[in-house]
Chains A and B, each alone.
Chain A
């Protein structure tokens, strides 16, 4: 095992799902089997990549032996290893869930190739060290995600997919424009080289603004969030889980990567405060919408809009405490596990009851204690109640804010937690209403309830993973040994 360095492991995490996607497209019937094989494989190679980074530090590898600046580099450090691992764990649980959820005939032939394709492009995004390569990964990711939203087929899903597609194209073209400007002024595309040669010129600033705006759009950050709720709310449950937990994180990862490693720190605090204000607005507005929504999946989708707001707090917090982005990345991990579990639980309940209107779900919740239990724990992680990953994330965020004496942001994190408590317990409360008439109840398949419960337990286990995850994040930046 020591003969492979982390980057070699990591390269397999792109190759495997890509091969799986092609095979699943050629032989649709083998989709579920391929999905399982790729999932197990992805977990193993991601763990290998993380171990490699842990022991040997960040690594780079030129594709096909061509070195930068001529070739295209894969870049693996603590941040990308954690994102790979997050994708693998959530992806594994979603795949098991999808085995039972996606029935033969109802788009199964299309689901598996698209999902594996999406997986490959996410992993490619995390490993890419080249601005244009990132564009390609981003575009592939967007197209696969849109196609998966459209899988549900109804009018709502199709219009949501259309809206999502247009936003996604707009976002990636804005990003590409930024890349073109960067190349025009600096003549390189490799992120590490760009970071070294870049100064604070107007062209760079324009490029940074375009790229950030485009990526924010894809991350569905307020006020560019309008497309998210219909898209995530009307897609099939495993798709919603993947979109809310992973896909939005991918574009946020890119924002973070660019501002950490490439763009020069802007003078003054205006930019950071603007980002923070957007985050705050997302947190408050998304929570209010989640509180008002009448459908379970809408509640969860708006909760994503709200919780994405926390991610943007990285910028104002980093003004005072440079390592504050660690807290935000850990938050992203915790949110990915919890949100995927919540969406999957919502999908189970919807499948079981035949609808997802909150008012009529109580009876089914009571008949499915395991799903309700999973919904409860994952919900607790969203709220940031102990002993979950969400709690550690909230602790880290508040700690960063207090260390930097940024009282306003600390208050915002706490208020955001309370608001999420309000909408999570509002949902759970329906399971306790007395004398419910159950009009319809199909038992949830065991595979679905167990995979949801397992993922919910992972989000609890994350509560104890704080120390190693933060340690891994310190393996950041240039080449190690």
Chain B
């Protein structure tokens, strides 16, 4: 049972990373980050169930705190996406900017 959570968490995390890199739309990227976060939380749950006897309460506290952080980060990210959309007209990041010179301020 524990290893199921552990493996499931790892898979979710991996899927999240993949989507974060592969998807272009910013909302999808933010969702991908959330999927990654869920993966981490599952690993923490596995850690809570890991020992013998009663489940360890500390990981639950960590997951709760983590969720709070994730919610605020997501809210902030969505607000930023709205601003980006309002100013540039698209909810995508410009491609291939990289190290090239580009306009600024």
Contacts and interface: CB of A to CB of B under 8 A. Distances in A.
Contacts of B97: 159, 226, 230
B33 A173 contact: yes
A293 B40 CA distance: 40
A165 B80 contact: yes
B104 A230 contact: yes
Of the candidates A135, A159, A162, A184, the one having the most CB atoms from chain B within 10 angstroms of its own CB is A184
A280 interface: no
Chain B interface, DSSP helix/strand/loop, else mixed: helix
A428 interface: no
Nearest to B68: A136
Given A139-B73, A143-B73, A184-B43, A234 B105 contact: yes
B81 interface: yes
Range, interface on chain B: 35 or more
Contact of A162 (B13, B84, B102): B84
Nearest to B103: A156
B101 A156 contact: no
Contacts of A161: 80
Which secondary structure dominates chain A's binding surface?
Answer: helix
A352 B21 CA distance: 40
Given A146-B80, A156-B103, A162 B26 contact: yes
Contacts of A229: 99
Counting contact residues on chain A (CB < 8 A from B), the size range is 35 or more
A150 B102 CA distance: 17
B104 A297 contact: yes
Contact of B101 (A146, A158, A165, A294): A294
17 contacts: A132-B62, A136-B65, A139-B69, A155-B88, A158-B83, A159-B93, A162-B84, A165-B76, A165-B77, A166-B33, A173-B13, A173-B33, A177-B39, A180-B47, A187-B56, A292-B101, A297-B105
Interface of A: 132, 135-136, 139, 143, 146-147, 150, 152-159, 161-163, 165-166, 169-170, 173, 176-177, 180-181, 183-184, 187, 189, 226, 229-230, 233-234, 289, 292-295, 297-298, 350, 356
